[in-house]
Amino acid sequence: MKKKLLAIILLLTNLFMLQAQESLAEKTKRMQWFKDAKLGIFIHWGIYSVNGIDESWSFYNGYISYEDYMDQLNGFTAVNYHPEEWAELIKESGAKYAVLTAKHHDGVALWDTKLSDLNVVKKTPAGRDLVTPFVKALRKNRLKVGIYFSQLDWSHPDYPHFTRKENRYSNDSLRWNNFLKFRHDQLMELCKKFKPDLFWFDGDWDYNAEQWKSKEMSRDLRKCDPKVILNSRINGYGDYSTPEQGVPITKPADPWWELCMTMNDSWGYQGNDHNYKTPNQIIRIFTDVIGMGGNLLLDIGPKADGTIPDEQVAVLKELGRWTKKHSEAVYGTVAGLPPGHFNGPTALSKDHTILYLYLDNIPKGPVLIKGLKNEVNRIWVVGKGTKLDWKVMMKAYWSSVPGLLYIDVPEEVLDEQVTVIAVLLKGPAEVYRKDGQVIESN
Ligand code: GLC
């Protein structure tokens, strides 16, 4: 009897594990375009660009009154909004997807929502749905569509929080459920109208998963579109992690992750903020992210008339030059070698037989890879094709510690930003991760 019970338990556990394995395989498949994409463009566009102030937070934190903040509705013209040009520029940058703030914490919808009058069609001189033509332009350029949606809505009469100092109510389940229904209906509207490839949620911090009904929300969205990707900011019910601003130092445990980052210090357009990172800094951060197997979601903040500031266009164009030249070392790559083998980020081709080295400095001598067990077939400069000479030194015949692989990189092959070197290996990359060996016989 006991044996039978044990057998049944074992069978059930196996079945359960098999199911879990299958769902991981399914997730891997569903997430594949995202994993391969490497670069996305985040777009914070909203009425906050009129005064050039912090998106939503400026009134929440009391830097401006709610009335004055909302007065910006009158200046949001979108007269020079050319979504096809946006999409072409995004494509030129080398990004494979874009995420547009359809609704930020201020509750102003950029599309013609039927569920609230607080939208740019009804309340601003723009007077039209701004999301539809953008989605169309992205699709035309074969870019994936991401919709940013703030779960919390500081303008909604049934959302408990209004500003940092003022709450509308606490503990009123009727009003809270009204709000949840509004959120649900707006999400369904977005899902049906735009069929986005990705929803980028934000603002889950006020409540827990149970209060937000996060499980039900993600279930409903996946029902609406089984292929949809959801970011993590839904209290643990999303598909991938979203570290913000700070580049991870160690490789994140989640196999799917995306660093979102501003070009200057603001998400939305702020004419006063000229603290831009240089294209060089951005590309170096990008290679760091690629080396750890992640994506970069780089933000732009268009002006109220729909133009993209010159500094941002310049960054996107230089990024585009670099990604185009180095596309084989960007798209579809996977995380590289663990730290300690090369002085800089590295990535691998999907089959692990090509090792990409990202060189962000001018070497004073040959560059070095340590602890690589594989023999090398060929080494070349990505985007140029120049073959490079290499030499293995210090390989003791009695030791299993691999030799030092030195690669000559002449100055004339260097890129203005980050040079990429491809090392074609015999077989998939294997590294030595131990602390050396002493001689036992010679
Ligand atoms: C933060 C901010 C928000 C911004 C977002 C982008 O969550 O609240 O203003 O849109 O980061 O990741």
Give residue 21's pLDDT: 47
Domain span at residue 287? 29-325
Nearest atom within ligand 1 for CA of residue 233? 7
Tell me, yes or no, whether 33 lies in a domain. Answer: yes
Q: Find the 288 Cα to ligand 1 centroid distance in Å.
A: 22
Please give the full DSSP string across 273-288, using - where no structure is assigned: ---PPPHHHHHHHHHH
Gap between the Cα atoms of 185 and 231, Å rounded = 19
Report whether pLDDT(267) > 90: yes
pLDDT tens-digit map of 47-65 = 999 999 999 999 999 999 9
Which pLDDT tens digit goes with each residue over 284-296? 999 999 999 999 9
Q: Whose CA is nearest to atom 5 of ligand 1?
A: 202
Would residue 316 count as lying in a domain?
Answer: yes
Res. 12: pLDDT tops 80: no
pLDDT at 13 exceeding the cut of 60: no
Q: Name the domain boundary from 325, 350, 380.
A: 325
What gap in Å lies between CA 350 and CA 149, rounded to an integer? 33
Q: Which atom in ligand 1 lies closest to the alpha carbon of residue 148? A: 10
**SS3 of residue 367 by DSSP:** strand
Do residue 129 and residue 235 come from a single domain?
yes
User: Percentages helix, strand, coil for the chain, rounded to the nearest 5?
Assistant: 35, 20, 45
Tell me, what's the pLDDT at 248?
95
Instruction: Check pLDDT > 70 for residue 7.
Output: no
CA 200 to centroid of ligand 1, rounded, Å: 11
Res. 5: pLDDT tops 80? no
Distance 154 CA to ligand 1 centre (A): 14
Share above pLDDT 70 across residues of the chain, in percent, rounded to a whole number: 95
Q: Is residue 191 part of a domain?
A: yes
Task: Report how many domains make up the chain.
Answer: 2
Protein residue whose Cα sits closest to atom 7 of ligand 1 = 202
First-residue to last-residue Cα distance in the chain: 63
> In sequence order, which ranges of 78-129 are alpha helices (DSSP H)?
83-93, 120-123
Atom of ligand 1 nearest to the CA of 57: 9
| Residue of 41, 54, 60, 202 to test ligand 1 pocket, by largest number of atoms within 8 Å of CB | 202
Cα of 105 vs centre of ligand 1, distance in Å, is: 9
Task: Flag whether 10 is in a domain.
Answer: no
- Rounded to whole angstroms, how far apart are CA atoms 215 and 319? 38
Is residue 3 assigned to a domain? no
Q: What is the phi/psi pair of residue 193, to 5°? A: -70, -40
Same domain, residue pair 281 and 391: no
The answer to whether residues 298 and 390 belong to one domain is no
Q: How far is the CA of 202 from the centre of ligand 1 (A)?
A: 7
- CA of 49 from ligand 1 middle (Å) equals 15
Residue that has been written with the tokens 């016989």 in this structure: 441
Phi, psi of 107 (to 5 degrees): 85, 0
* Pairing verdict, β 39-43 and 295-300: parallel
**Two tokens at 351?**
């089959």
| Ligand 1 environment, Cβ below 6 A | 44, 55, 202, 244, 260, 267
Question: Last residue of a domain, which of 304, 325, 346?
Answer: 325
Atom 1 in ligand 1: which residue has the minimum CA distance? Answer: 202
Place of tokens 């940058």: 93
CA distance 217 to 240: 16
Cα(237) to ligand 1 centroid in Å equals: 18
What is the tens place of the pLDDT at every residue in 173-231? 999 999 999 999 999 999 999 999 999 999 999 999 999 999 999 999 999 999 999 99
b/e for 367-394, b at 16 or more Cβ within 10 A?
bebbbbebebeebbbbbeeeebebeeee
| 316 and 338 belong to one structural domain | no
On whether both 342 and 312 belong to a single domain, the answer is no
Instruction: Tell me how far CA of residue 438 lies from CA of 82, 361, 398, 399, 435, in angstroms.
Output: 67, 34, 9, 8, 10
For 129, other C-beta atoms within 10 Å of its C-beta total 18
**Per-residue pLDDT, 436:** 85
CATH assignment at residue 346: 2.60.40.1180
> Residue 168's closest CA among 180, 155, 177?
155
Residue 329 near residue 382 (C-beta atoms within 8 A): yes
Alpha helices, H only, 252-395: 279-291, 310-325
Whole-number Å distance between alpha carbons of 130 and 43: 13
Out of 63, 267, 269, give the residue to mutate to test ligand 1, the one with the largest number of ligand atoms within 8 Å of its CB: 267
54 Cα nearest atom in ligand 1: 9
Looking at residue 66, its amino acid is Y
Same domain membership, residue 108 and residue 207: yes
Residue 436 falls inside a structural domain: no
CA–centroid distance, residue 166 to ligand 1 (Å): 21
Same domain, 39 and 62: yes
Q: Within this chain, do residues 135 and 202 fall inside the same structural domain, yes or no?
A: yes
Beta bridge pairs of residue 405: 369, 392
For residue 182, report the distance from its CA to the centre of ligand 1, in Å. 21
Residue nearest atom 4 in ligand 1 by C-alpha distance: 267
For residues 185 and 240, state if they share a domain.
yes
Q: Which of 77-81, 92-96, 399-403 has the lowest mean pLDDT?
A: 399-403
Residue 17 domain flag: no
Find out whether 148 and 202 touch, Cβ atoms under 8 Å: yes
Same domain, yes or no, for 377 and 289? no
pLDDT at res. 1: 54
Residues 255 and 362 in one domain: no
Please report whether residue 442 resides in a domain: no
Q: How far apart are CA 329 and CA 34, in angstroms?
A: 16
Q: Is the pLDDT of residue 19 over 90?
A: no
Is there a single domain that holds both residue 320 and residue 378?
Answer: no
Give, using CA atoms, the residue closest to atom 10 of ligand 1: 267
Residue 276's CB: how many other CB atoms inside 10 A? 17
Q: What pLDDT shows up at residue 55?
A: 98
Q: Which of 69, 75, 68 is nearest to 50 (CA)?
A: 75
Where does a domain end: 325, 352, 373? 325
How many whole angstroms separate alpha carbon 201 and alpha carbon 147?
Answer: 8
pLDDT digits (tens, 9 = 90+) for 272-287: 999 999 999 999 999 9
pLDDT at 20: 46
CA of 386 to the centre of ligand 1 (A): 43
Ligand 1 pocket mutation pick from 101, 244, 262, 297 by most atoms within 8 angstroms of CB: 244
CA–centroid distance, 6 to ligand 1, in Å, is 51
Q: Whose CA is nearest to atom 9 of ligand 1?
A: 55
Contact 222, 260 (CB under 8 A): no
| Residues in CB range of 185: below 8 A, 6 or more apart | 115
- Whichever domain contains 250, its CATH number is 3.20.20.80
